[in-house]
Amino acid sequence: MPASEHDQSALLREIVNLERRLSTLERSIVFRALRKAGIAANFLKRSAGKALLASPLHRIVRGAFQARQQKPYARWLEAHRQSDPLRGRSILSAEAPVSFSIIVPTRSPHPEWFRLAVESVTSQTWPNWQLCVSLDGGIPSAIRNWLNDLAKADGRIAVAEAGPPGGISSALNRGVAIARGDFLAFLDHDDLLESTALAHMAEVLSRQAADLIYTDEDLIDGAGAPLRPNFKPGWSPELLRSCMYMGHLIAARRDLALAAGSFDPAFDGSQDFDLALRLIDQGANVAHVPRVLYHWRAHEDSTAQSAAAKPYAAPAGKRTLEASLRRRGVPAEVENADRPNTFRVRIHSEPRAVSLIIPSRTPAYLKKCLRGLRGKTTQTDPVELVVVHHKSDTATDAEMLRISEEHRARVVSFTGPFDFARMMNEGAGAATGELLVFLNDDVEPKTADWLANLISPLAQPDVGVTGARLLYPNGTIQHAGIVLGMGDATGHAGRFLFDSAWWPWINNTRDVSAVTGACLATPKGLFETLNGFDLRFRNNYNDVDYCLRAREAGFRVVFSNDAVLIHHEGLTRGGGTTAAERLEFFRRWGHLLDRCDPFFSPHLKQDEDLSLEGVP
DSSP 263-282: --GGGTTSHHHHHHHHHHHT
Q: Averaging pLDDT over each range in 20-34, 101-115, 551-565, 571-585, which range is the top one?
A: 551-565
d(CA 614, CA 54): 31
Is residue 485 within 8 A of residue 579, CB to CB? The reply is no
d(CA 243, CA 252): 18
d(CA 13, CA 7): 10
The residues, any chain, with a CB within 8 Å of residue 290's CB and separated by 6 or more, are 215, 216, 231, 232, 234, 596, 601, 602, 603
- Which of 142-156, 205-219, 304-318, 466-480 has the least mean pLDDT? 304-318
What are the CA-CA distances from residue 275 to residues 105, 328, 388 (Å)?
A: 16, 15, 49
Is residue 134 within 8 A of residue 105, CB to CB? The reply is yes
User: Residue 574: which pLDDT band, with cuts at 50, 70 and 90?
Assistant: very low
User: Residue 12: which pLDDT band, with cuts at 50, 70 and 90?
Assistant: low
Report strand pairing: 410-414 vs 490-492. unpaired
- Which of 45-54, 366-375, 415-424, 580-589 has the least mean pLDDT? 45-54
Interior angle at CA 181, CA 180 and CA 182, nearest 5: 125
Q: Where are the alpha helices (DSSP H) in 27-83?
A: 29-53, 58-82
Q: Which pTM was predicted?
A: 0.89
What are the CA-CA distances from residue 304 to residues 138, 188, 222, 278, 307 (Å)?
A: 23, 12, 12, 24, 7
Q: Select from 235, 249, 233 the least CA-distant residue to 296.
A: 249
Is residue 532 within 8 A of residue 428, CB to CB? The reply is yes
Is residue 421 within 8 A of residue 533, CB to CB? The reply is yes
Is residue 271 within 8 A of residue 263, CB to CB? The reply is yes
User: What number of helices (H) and strands (E) belong to the chain?
Assistant: 18, 23
When the pLDDT of each residue in the chain is averaged and rounded to a whole number, the result is 88
Percent share of the chain, pLDDT over 70: 85
If one compares 575 and 237, the residue with the highest pLDDT of the two is 237
d(CA 26, CA 35): 9
Q: Does 127 score more than 60 pLDDT?
A: yes
In the predicted model, what is the mean pLDDT of residues 301-317? 74
Would residue 181 be called left, alpha or beta, if left means φ above 0 and alpha means ψ between -120 and 50 degrees?
beta
Q: How many other β-carbons are positioned within 10 Å of the β-carbon of residue 297? A: 24
Is residue 410 within 8 A of residue 398, CB to CB? The reply is no
If one compares 44 and 216, the residue with the highest pLDDT of the two is 216
What pLDDT shows up at residue 62?
Answer: 54
The domains of the chain, with CATH numbers, are 3-82 (no CATH), 93-310 (3.90.550.10), 354-593 (3.90.550.60)
What pLDDT shows up at residue 396?
Answer: 84
Residue type, 236: S
Q: How many other β-carbons are positioned within 10 Å of the β-carbon of residue 381? A: 16
d(CA 20, CA 616): 33
Exposure string for 286-295, b = 16+ CB within 10 A, e = fewer? bbbbbbbbbb
Q: Which tens digits make up the pLDDT trace of 366-398?
A: 999 999 998 888 766 689 999 999 987 777 889
What is the rounded radius of gyration, in angstroms, for the C-alpha atoms of the chain? 27
